[in-house]
Structure 1
Amino acid sequence: MAKFGKKKKGLPAVNTAALPDIVFMLLFFFMVTTTMRETDLRIENPRLPSATEIKKLEDKSLVSTIYVGKSKDPNRDGVGYNKIQLNDKIASADQVPAFIFSKRDKLAEAMHPFMTTSIKADKESNVGTMTDIRLKLRDVNALKISYSTQKGSGN
């Protein structure tokens, strides 16, 4: 006599019909939310001075960055550590006010007092260049200045 028993069935297959929709939604999400780097550095990556007391900037959209350092292409831009980069071009300290005004034009007028100018200067840069930049920033009433540093011993 044959035994009657329940046949064991395997687990049902996972339905993958919605998988392409999920993948394309994730792809679209990351394409929309990702921001690309706005400027290409024409100066060498600045070797930032070290400091013991540092603070991160809160709102990056209100920060205008000025790079000071050695040019990557000394044949085109000249030799020395005193090159100033505003957006994607090497500039002089006299062009800093126009740079600040162009950044202010993109912001609402109520946000102008909260705008910060960040200076990323190589530790070999000339103090005279930094002073020229600060004087030009003072002329256009851009008084919130942040100096970028790296965390270290402060030497």
Structure 2
Amino acid sequence: MSKFKKKQAETKQAVPTSAMPDVVFMLLIFFMVTTVLREVELQVQIEYAQAENIEKIEQKRLVSYIYIGPQRLGNNRLGETKVQIDDTLVDDMGAIRNIMYDKIMEEPRLIVSLRVDQDSEFGIITDVQQELRHAGTLRVNYSTLREI
């Protein structure tokens, strides 16, 4: 018989979970701080035109929206046709060129989506298209509803 006996360590193999709530709380705070949940407040009314042949844009992050339609005045009244970029109404058509040029410099793959009211004046739409062309934003699409 052997005189030497093999000792076994009596340590626990369990993972400590006492810090788990702290880690979960820190992750929650991190995602709350870094996530952007932003909706544009429309100041113009948009009723989309219908189309048969439409295509869905997959990468929504690369899209910048320009809204064209009658201005909402309150009490269900509508004003004249206005252009809205982000949360701001644009009165000077020349400002569209500067705003969109800055955006295209930040993201060269930017797609400009025009969300136009079906009853908007075509002259304003043409002016916006010209300003986009001068700004170098050549990837333009129109938002529509699928025709039933």
TM-score w.r.t. length of structure 2:
0.71
Aligned residue for 2:82?
83
Higher fraction of strand = 2
Note the C-alpha offset of 1:19. Answer: 9.1
**Distance in 1, Cα, partners of 2:24 & 2:52:** 45
Match of 2:15 in 1: none
Q: Structure 1 runs of 4+ off > 3 angstroms?
A: 17-30
SS at match of 2:137: coil
Contact 2:112 2:140 in 1 (8 A): yes
* Distance in 2, Cα, partners of 1:42 & 1:140: 24
**1:56 maps to which residue?**
56
SS in 2 for 1:104: helix
Q: Determine if the alignment matches structure 1 residue 130 to structure 2 residue 131.
A: no
The answer to whether residue 102 in structure 2 is matched with residue 102 in structure 1 is yes
Quick one: structure 1 residues 26 and 79, their matched pair in 2 at CA, closer, same or farther if it must change by over 3 Å?
Answer: same
Residue type of the alignment partner of 1:150: L
- Distance (whole Å) between structure 2 residues aligned to residue 137 and residue 89 of structure 1: 17
Q: CA RMSD in A?
A: 2.6
Aligned residue pair count: 128
Aligned-residue offset at 1:32: 5.1
Identity of aligned residues (%): 35
Gaps of 5+ in 2: 1-17
Question: Does residue 1:69 correspond to 2:64, yes or no?
Answer: no
Deviations 1:48-77 (A, max 9, x none): 111111111122222111000111227xxx
- What per-residue deviation string (whole Å, max 9, x for no partner) do you get for residues 111-137 of structure 1? x1x221100011111111111111111
Q: 2-side partners of 1:135 and 1:40: how far apart?
A: 25
Structure 1 spans left out of the alignment, 5+ residues: 1-16
